């Protein structure tokens, strides 16, 4: 699979890791093995901790880029990720083991989980639909991890009100043990976050709920919408809503997800699952399942999930796509695409225009292509990224 196997379900002792492609170097008590990936804010390394008697343990080490390491805003976001992640204790969440300092900078120590991200699995599938039972198994694990985050409490038993806000194929890991895990709480919000900036519009627009695209107040159902969008793509091989621009995608969201036209007869399980996912993809958040646990129950009723050992065998047997080999070393604990902030100004204008188009009976006419004047130059004119240089 391209990874050095370091742990198993039977908890065998870790094997000796060999540095690949980089000269051995250290950050404090961590020896760097190889770079797993670099995103807009941070780099993630496969590293080992060294202890007495030859003890070593593999970890994923997340380190802010030097240009952000001294910026109080980004440091606060980094600390938020550590604080929120450390409060979520669940088998379906990539755990944060520690946060340490080295020469004045913070390092986030996370569990290293051999496996592949859903983004990599989609690449390997090359647009083909995945087995419904496997999709439901991934879905149930994903939603269990999200529910744990949504229900997490502090040491003082106070609700943390965590919302992930970036559920996407890159941030769902399917381990070689057959379990799926949520990772990367880098732009999550919570009741005790340190950074006070508005990160609600950050993330990956293709998987955002309409209220997130519009910059409205968010609740936990925004994560359910994003999870449903990921699962829809796994089940059908296509995104639920077409559109290269956010305003175009919003118009399609109001009409509901478009079902594939080339479904084969007899796929009752897939059709039942699409019904459940369509409810979670509702434009009106009140029409979605109220919790991740309720969403998972509906999916289980539509189709029985595959067992972890079945998922593991499926994962090992999945033929890698053209870019799977390098991308397997990309993952594991960091947002590896640049974070983006989408200005809601043109989308709010679009929302107003669409609301005015409703007739007296409350029915919404078929969406038409927004005029350039309504979008004030198009939403991507207002996009700015955190990537520099």
The residues carrying an active-site annotation are: 166
Largest Cα–Cα distance in the chain? 77
| Closest by CA position to 334, among listed 110, 68, 83 | 110
Cβ proximity of 202 and 39 under 8 Å: no
Q: State whether residue 94 is helix, strand or coil.
A: coil
Q: Can you tell me the distance from the alpha carbon of 72 to that of 158, in angstroms, rounded to the nearest whole number?
A: 26
Cβ proximity of 241 and 189 under 8 Å: no
**Residue 44 in tokens:** 């993630």
Q: State whether residue 304 is helix, strand or coil.
A: coil
| Closest by CA position to 373, among listed 361, 381, 383 | 381
Task: Assign residue 165 a region (left: φ > 0; alpha: ψ between -120 and 50; beta: otherwise).
Answer: left
- Helices 246-255 and 345-356 cross at an angle (nearest 10°) of 40
Cβ proximity of 217 and 317 under 8 Å: no
């Amino acid at each position: 699979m391209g990874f050095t196997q370091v742990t198993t379900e039977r908890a065998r002792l870790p094997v000796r890791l060999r540095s690949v492609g980089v000269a051995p170097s250290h950050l404090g008590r961590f020896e760097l093995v190889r770079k797993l990936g670099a995103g807009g804010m941070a780099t993630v390394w496969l590293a080992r901790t060294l202890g007495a008697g030859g003890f070593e343990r593999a970890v994923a080490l997340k380190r802010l880029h030097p240009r952000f390491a001294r910026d109080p805003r980004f440091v606060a976001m980094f600390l938020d990720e550590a604080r929120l992640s450390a409060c979520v204790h669940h088998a379906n969440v990539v755990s944060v083991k520690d946060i340490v300092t080295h020469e004045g900078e913070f390092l986030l120590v996370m569990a290293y989980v051999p496996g592949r991200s859903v983004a990599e699995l989609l690449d390997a599938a090359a647009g083909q639909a995945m087995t419904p039972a496997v999709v439901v198994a991934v879905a149930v694990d994903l939603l269990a991890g999200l529910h744990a985050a949504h229900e997490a409490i502090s040491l003082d038993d106070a609700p943390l009100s965590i919302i992930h806000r970036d559920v996407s194929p890159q941030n769902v890991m399917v381990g070689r043990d057959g379990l799926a895990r949520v990772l990367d709480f880098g732009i999550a919000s919570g009741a005790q976050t340190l950074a006070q900036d508005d990160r609600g519009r950050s993330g990956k627009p293709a998987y955002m709920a309409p209220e997130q695209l519009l910059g409205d107040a968010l609740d936990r159902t925004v994560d359910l919408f994003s999870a449903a969008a990921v699962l829809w793509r796994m089940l059908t091989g296509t995104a639920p809503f077409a559109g290269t621009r956010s305003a175009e995608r919003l118009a399609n969201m109001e009409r509901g997800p478009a079902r594939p036209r080339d479904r084969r007869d007899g796929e009752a399980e897939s059709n039942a699952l699409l019904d459940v996912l369509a409810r979670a993809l509702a434009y009106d958040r009140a029409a979605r399942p109220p919790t991740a646990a309720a969403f998972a129950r509906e999916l289980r009723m539509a189709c029985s999930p595959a067992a972890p050992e079945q998922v593991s065998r499926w994962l090992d047997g999945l033929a890698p796509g053209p870019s799977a080999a390098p991308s397997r070393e990309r993952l594991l604990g960091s947002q590896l695409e640049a974070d983006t902030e989408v200005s809601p100004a043109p989308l709010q204008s679009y929302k107003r225009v669409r609301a005015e188009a409703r007739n007296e009976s409350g029915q919404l006419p078929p969406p038409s292509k927004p005029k350039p004047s309504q979008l004030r130059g198009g939403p991507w004119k207002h996009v700015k990224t955190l990537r520099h240089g």
